[in-house]
Amino acid sequence: MSPREVEDRLPQFECTKCGACCREDSMLITVTGRDIARISTALGLSPEETMRALDFYIVDDPNTIPIGLQGIPSPSTERGSAFIALRKMENGECIFLKDNLCMIHTLRPIVCRSFPFVFQEKGSQRKWGLSAVKQICPGLGTGSKVSEKDIEDLSALVLESIKTYHEFVDEWNSLPTTTARELIRTILSDPRFFA
């Protein structure tokens, strides 16, 4: 795609802080190892307390994984391969949402920072797309057009975090299967996630 075509595709986007993405029941707020380490350390959570802030979504059929989750690694647990995500309340809201505000704004997972953009790396090519439409995210079509530099900076941040997590998960999945609890303990002691 030529630079002109790339620029033509760039949408207008400005977050309206409506909180819809924090309340959307159908969306997983997936976390990488760095997200888990950052949130747990800054909030002073023990591994047990960290576990209580997370949920494990078992991958039943790798062929039916939604597009937005296809680049996210799923570590093995005693119940099968799982996407790790922030826990949700019964009404579908993220546990860190209070009075429609994010209580961990500066620590929020990479998926929250980059929403509604998603990124993929194929060989040396980086691609971006949107994981939501305006009906879900009213920030789309609002404000200024996103710049190519913004997309590049965000893509570098997201893909670097996922790459490190991928390396870890590949190693983890090559070991004998153990528990989700042990997985979180191992993440919280891996220096790669604190770099």
* CA–CA separation, 164 and 36 (whole Å): 13
Which is closer to ligand SF4, CB of 74 or CB of 131?
131
- State whether the Cα torsion 92-107-118-67 is positive or negative: negative
Does 104 interact with ligand SF4 (rule: CB under 6 A)?
Answer: yes
Interface stretch with ligand SF4, choices 58-66, 70-78, 95-103, 143-151 (CB under 6 A): 95-103
Which DSSP category does 88 fall into?
B
Beta strands in 11-89 (DSSP E): 12-13, 54-58, 76-77, 80-86
Which is closer to ligand SF4, CB of 22 or CB of 82?
22
Does 22 interact with ligand SF4 (rule: CB under 6 A)?
Answer: yes
Task: Note the residue count of the chain.
Answer: 195
- Shortest Å, Cβ 72 to ligand SF4: 15
Please, which residues have CB within 8 angstroms of residue 29's CB and are 6 or more apart in sequence? 22, 85, 86, 88, 94, 109, 111, 112
- Shortest Å, Cβ 20 to ligand SF4: 4
Which is closer to ligand SF4, CB of 22 or CB of 180?
22
Between residue 36 and residue 75, which ones bind ligand SF4 under the rule CB under 6 A? none
Interface stretch with ligand SF4, choices 50-58, 75-83, 90-98, 181-189 (CB under 6 A): 90-98
* CA–CA separation, 109 and 42 (whole Å): 13
What phi, psi does 12 have (nearest 5°)? -80, 140
| C-alpha gyration radius of the chain | 17
- Shortest Å, Cβ 24 to ligand SF4: 8
Does 20 interact with ligand SF4 (rule: CB under 6 A)?
Answer: yes
Does 17 interact with ligand SF4 (rule: CB under 6 A)?
Answer: yes
* CA–CA separation, 82 and 110 (whole Å): 18
Which is closer to ligand SF4, CB of 23 or CB of 166?
23
- Shortest Å, Cβ 3 to ligand SF4: 26
Where does this chain bind ligand SF4 (CB under 6 A)?
Answer: 15-22, 29, 86, 94, 96-97, 102, 104, 108-109, 112, 115-116, 137-139
